[in-house]
Amino acid sequence: MEAQEEKEAQVAAWLKKIFGDHPIPQYEVNARTTEILHHLSERNRVRDRDVYLVIEDLKQKASEYESEAKHLQSLLMESVNFSPANLSSTGSRYLNALVDSAMALETKDTSLASFIPAVNDLTSDLFRTKSKNEEIKLELAKLEKNLTSTLVLEKCLRE
């Protein structure tokens, strides 16, 4: 019975945490509802932990990308005394277009080695779509022919 009371206490604490300042809705406290709510609270706790880990991972990746960007920018400044701020408006537009293209193609960077496979994947998708489109057109033409035959046959039968 002590385990049941412990679960009821855990459920009450979980509901208080979930609802915060809002009142907790009335529910029948019995073994079944307590078990269901306890199961939900455990699943919620696991999901919250997983989400927290994903968030922390994304924060870490963002900081790594930021430090890598700073490193590459300083390397660029040292090697050719170049800064994106020194670009002309046309150069800045080209750089933004390059970045936007890399984002749209979901490449890991803006190197040619990343762009070529991404463009090849898009080309393959395009050909698959065109092929499927042709199949659908042939099926449609076949159905139109059958419909025409059926309508002619129907007309002949009526006459």
Closest CA to 12 of 65, 25, 91, 55: 25
Closest CA to 6 of 40, 35, 44, 49: 35
C-alpha R_g of the chain: 31
- pLDDT tens digits, 11-49: 999 999 989 889 988 888 898 999 999 999 999 999 999
Closest CA to 76 of 97, 95, 103: 95
pTM above 0.75, yes or no: no
* Number of C-beta neighbours around residue 79 at 10 A: 8
